[in-house]
Structure 1
Amino acid sequence: MYNNVTKFIKNYIEKNKRKRFELDELEDYIIHIYGGKSGYEKNGGYLELYAGILKAVDEGKIRAIKSSNYNGMNPPLKTKWEIIQKESFGQWDKNEMLKMSDLLDFRYYERHPEYENSVEWEYMRNIYSFLKERDNREWASLEERSLELFYDEKFLYSKRKDKIDNKILTRLSLDYEDLKMKKYGEMFIYWKRGIDKIKKVIILENHSTFFSYKRACEMGIDIFGDLPELLIFGQGKKIINSFSFIEELVSPLELEILYFGDIDPEGFMIYRSFKERYKDLNINLQIKAYMQLLKIGSRKYPCVGQRKNIRDLNFVLDEFHARFLDEYGEMLKNLWNEDRRIPQELINYEYILKGDR
């Protein structure tokens, strides 16, 4: 069991580049080594694990984190541990580093030789090989390039369930452009009328309203004076990133883009963020839809758990003011101050059929 404890220590440092680990992580590793719980128990189970840990402590390989709790077992062990690393003077061949220094900046590693391990060196060689051929390589997604260089398509994700050290690009002062990779969002869901020339687009925040608009457009029914050639389901905040895919359908500079979402702080935030992100495009509220929503929203729905940013409200109010619709702006302000909202789903297919009243 002790040998497996030392294997865990070595592998953990190389893979995670962290010194602290949970007791459960060590036990799970050893259970996996023995092919499951039964194999673990046949090899002495917890008592042998306890003995292996004590030996590793005696040999100065690990130490318990005093502030952590005990695990409730008999004999007890602390739940959190730290690997004791001996002073490192660097594991990498300096001549090889010098050969690759024409494309890689090793200054960080010279200051921090503790990062010179076999796993990082393999990544380094992969990156160097790519950079040598960069001009002949095509652009790829973040996931595709990560799989190629680090054997893990999610390696560079900032939010991962498992905590790993994925800061190698920072240490090398490289960015996504250096590695010809892009972080793509998911493409939006859309419906296109059977017309080649797209002039007007309406983006709907929510799924139900998207389908109500789609049904109306399929019947050739204009929606408060608008009959778009393209409808887009924004999926809430996702549209802020996913709208970049519009160029695969049409040149966005030629479009009239209308946005319709919930009357609430989040809906206003989405619109402001979206319009500011694509400030070169002709983006406006589908103002008549908002007017209709304010007219029929006699029941004011409570607005719970949404962050309020007055900039978002003022951004929308400015657009109403520019259309000389200050009376509707006052209604929006009242809803904001009363922590009330009006969901866009009130504009359903049946309501659209009744027309602009």
Structure 2
Amino acid sequence: MQIYPILLGYVKSEQRSGKAVMKLEDMISFIKQNHPEFKIKIDQPDGYRELYDAINRLINEDILKKMSPRKTTVEQPPLALKYRICKEDDEDSTGLKKEILKLNRAFSLEYYLSNPKQYLQDKQYIQILGDYLHQEEKPLLSINELSYQLFNDEKFFKGTDESHGEAILRNLGLTYADLNCYYAYEPFIYHLFSQTNQTRKTGLIIENKDTYWSFVQLLSNHAVSLDIDFLIYGEGKKIISSLRYLEFLKIDLDYLWYFGDIDREGVHIYFNLREAYPRLNIKPFISGYEKLVNHTFDRILNRTPKAQAYRKEDAKDFCDHFSSLYRDRIRNVLDKGLYIPQEGLSLAGLIQEYAYV
């Protein structure tokens, strides 16, 4: 569920009840109370950004209008604290609604009947989709291939996290399956070490390239005290989208650990993965983090080269996985904006810690 349709329904309900003014705090409170999945997320940078985009979309659609634009949130980009609910032009809306009711029967019309002005903006794309659905035969295409065929733009559906094309599909109640197109998985590099007689499988995601290859060397050439069957190169933030490739590989993991730099960005990636793939029950690779702390204990730590997203609640949740000695050390690094790169635990260090003599 996205924030935009939640807010749209709420605003329309308030509009029907005759309410003329809405406060930002009331919108946030409604979202938190009625959609628990946003209770924490909306206070995080990604959630706030989605809220910002949703409200600005309502403004662009002439559904809301800023009041007292100088009174804004302290968060960036700023949002006004109060909004006026705009009234619909009944005469224009009636004609548009009649036109909408004549659209392809495969479409869900509820959204555009409630938002006829948005229909005007999306009309040309809706007509193309309607004509395509009328075709008896639709070849199996990837999402980007279909985007190019229909709209001469291969990124129409998948250009951004909240693309215009995907918004139109959602508004019409369509799925990619309805269009006979498939998701082209973004692959990741991996090594499989599992034995055929093993009943449980454990995966490990490594954030950085050098550390990934050090683990490959360790697991390929040494008898070790680790039970790792499936090693994944995360490639920084890329893993947040590419981990879906597991579906294509049809690899079922009983345990999946994550090991990244000890910094705000590494923790942010970890929590994004947990949120995007709750079924996988991803956990921090405790042993790896502790050994990274041990091998860099006498180092002077540097600050991260650029500002990174940070939530103290996430830092606490992450650090609570560790015993007090490591918890305090890692929390201090995160709170001060410092970082310990994975490269601090080298191949030689891995052999020392995990290989049998």
Letter of the 2:154 counterpart: E
Residue 258 of structure 2 is matched in structure 1 by 259
User: Given the superposition, is the C-alpha separation of residues 97 and 230 from structure 1 closer, same or farther in structure 2, using an over 3 Å criterion?
Assistant: same
1:103 aligned to 2:101?
Answer: no
Distance, in Å, in 2 between the alignment partners of 1:257 and 1:227 is 11
Residue 277 of structure 1 is matched in structure 2 by 276
Alignment check: 8 A CA contact 1:265 1:312 kept: no
Counterpart pick for 2:337 among 319, 339, 343:
339
Unpaired stretches in structure 1, ≥5 consecutive residues: 1-87, 89-93
1:189-218 deviation line (CA, Å, top 9, x unaligned) = 101126345712111011110001001111
User: Given the superposition, is the C-alpha separation of residues 105 and 231 from structure 1 closer, same or farther in structure 2, using an over 3 Å criterion?
Assistant: closer
Distance, in Å, in 2 between the alignment partners of 1:96 and 1:317 is 53
Counterpart pick for 1:127 among 125, 129, 132:
132
Residue 63 of structure 1 is matched in structure 2 by none
Residue 229 of structure 1 is matched in structure 2 by 229
User: Given the superposition, is the C-alpha separation of residues 105 and 210 from structure 1 closer, same or farther in structure 2, using an over 3 Å criterion?
Assistant: closer
Unpaired stretches in structure 2, ≥5 consecutive residues: 1-91, 93-97
1:114-165 deviation line (CA, Å, top 9, x unaligned) = 6698x658614533325x668xx76x532133234334322224449xx999
Letter of the 2:240 counterpart: I
How much has 1:248 moved relative to structure 2? 3.3
TM-score, structure 1 length as denominator? 0.58
How much has 1:326 moved relative to structure 2? 1.3
Report the 3-state secondary structure (helix = DSSP H, G, I; strand = E; otherwise coil) of the residue aligned with 1:226.
coil
Larger Rg: 1
Report matched runs for 1:1-357 at 5 Å. 98=102, 101-104=104-107, 108=112, 111=116, 120=125, 123-130=128-135, 140-159=141-160, 168-169=168-169, 172=172, 174-176=174-176, 178-181=178-181, 183-193=183-193, 195-196=195-196, 197=198, 199-222=201-224, 225-252=225-252, 254-297=253-296, 298-299=298-299, 300-303=301-304, 304-320=306-322, 325-356=323-354
How much has 1:247 moved relative to structure 2? 3.2
1:61-100 deviation line (CA, Å, top 9, x unaligned) = xxxxxxxxxxxxxxxxxxxxxxxxxxx9xxxxx99994x5
Distance, in Å, in 2 between the alignment partners of 1:311 and 1:184 is 35
How much has 1:229 moved relative to structure 2? 1.9
Distance, in Å, in 1 between the alignment partners of 2:289 and 2:99 is 68
Alignment check: 8 A CA contact 1:192 1:231 kept: yes
Letter of the 1:195 counterpart: Q
Q: How many residues align?
A: 252
Distance, in Å, in 2 between the alignment partners of 1:200 and 1:221 is 17
TM-score, structure 2 length as denominator? 0.58
Report the 3-state secondary structure (helix = DSSP H, G, I; strand = E; otherwise coil) of the residue aligned with 2:270.
helix
Q: Which moved more, 1:165-174 or 1:288-297?
A: 165-174
Alignment check: 8 A CA contact 2:122 2:168 kept: no
Alignment check: 8 A CA contact 1:141 1:182 kept: yes
Report the 3-state secondary structure (helix = DSSP H, G, I; strand = E; otherwise coil) of the residue aligned with 2:204.
strand
